[in-house]
Structure formats: C-alpha cells, structure tokens
C-alpha cells in the first residue's frame, strides 16, 4: 500500500485531454489495493471538465468516496469546479512536495493534475505522496476552518 493504513475509496475522472493518464492512475491505485470508481468518460468521448469534476467532488463531500482524483489538460479547470462544492478542497499539483502539503496542511481530499503538465511517472509519485499524508490538524485546522464553505 502507498503509506495509508487502509484501502481507500477513491473516485477518478477526467476529461478527454487526460484519458491516458486516467488509465495509468486507475491501474496504479488498484495495484495499491484501493477501491477505485472510474467515473469516465469513455475513451474518445469529448466532454466538458465541469461535468466530470462535479460527481467526484460531490461524492467526496457526501462521504461516498474518501478521496478523488481529477485529471484534465492542466488540472486547473477541474480544481476550480471541484472547489465550488461545499466541504471540498481540491489542489492542483505537479510535484510531490505540493501533493503532500495539500493533504498535510490543507486537507485537500481531491487531487487535480494535468496530462499536458505531468507525465505518468510524476503523477504517480504525486499520488503516492498525497496518499501517504494525513491531515495534521492543529494550527492547520484553524486555517482550513477559515476557508471552509458552509
């Protein structure tokens, strides 16, 4: 397992710009023992990123999923959409340090990456770092509390 003490329920989705990366991420997460729900889209299907981000973000917000992974060309549009869902914090990352800190200090339960920005190797390293981290709470909980949407 990737450093987490138990298997997590993780939802994964992408738009058409990240089909290949989604397949790599899904396979790696399954290999790590996580329960993965792939919310698509089908390969070759052109879709709008907000339509892919909202089901993942809402599933994390309501507890159906422990965490979510959203992939598009840059990760930006996915994060902007996911962050509109109350109770969700989504972070765009392209390095392991940022991925770890997104969880440690910001309790970001949705990770966003761009296939046009990171390759599969970096993406999987970011996932491993993010999954191995747990929210530290303490002074960070106070700060996160100031950005929580009701």
CATH number of 9-143: 3.40.1400.10
Which residue among the candidates 72, 112, 126, 140 is catalytic per the annotation?
72
pLDDT in tens, 72-121: 999 999 999 999 999 999 999 999 999 999 999 999 999 999 999 999 99
Cβ-based burial of 14 (10 A; exposed 0-12, middle 13-18, buried ≥19): buried
Report domain extents, the chain.
9-143
Q: Kindly report the CA angle at 4 between 110 and 81, in degrees rounded to 5?
A: 0
112 is known as an active-site residue? no
State mean pLDDT over 117-140.
92
Out of 105, 112, 126, 140, which one is annotated catalytic? Answer: 105
DSSP-assigned beta bridge partners for residue 92: 112
Establish whether 72 is a catalytic residue: yes
Q: Mean pLDDT over all residues of the chain? A: 93
Residue 48 has pLDDT above 80, yes or no: yes
- Indicate the SS3 state at residue 1: coil
């Amino acid at each position: 397992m990737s450093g987490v003490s138990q298997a997590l329920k993780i939802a994964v989705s992408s738009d058409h710009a990240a089909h290949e990366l989604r397949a790599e991420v899904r396979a790696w997460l399954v290999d790590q023992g996580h329960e993965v729900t792939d919310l698509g889209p089908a390969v070759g299907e052109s879709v709008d990123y907000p339509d892919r981000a909202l089901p993942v973000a809402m599933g994390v917000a309501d507890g159906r999923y422990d965490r979510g992974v959203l992939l598009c060309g840059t990760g930006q549009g996915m994060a902007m959409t996911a962050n509109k869902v109350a109770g969700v914090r989504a972070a765009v990352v392209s390095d392991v340090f940022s991925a770890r800190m997104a969880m440690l200090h910001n309790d970001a339960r949705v990770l966003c990456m761009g296939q046009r920005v990171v390759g599969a190797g970096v993406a999987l390293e970011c996932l491993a770092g993010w999954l191995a981290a747990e929210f530290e709470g303490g002074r960070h909980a106070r700060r996160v509390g100031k950005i929580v949407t009701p």
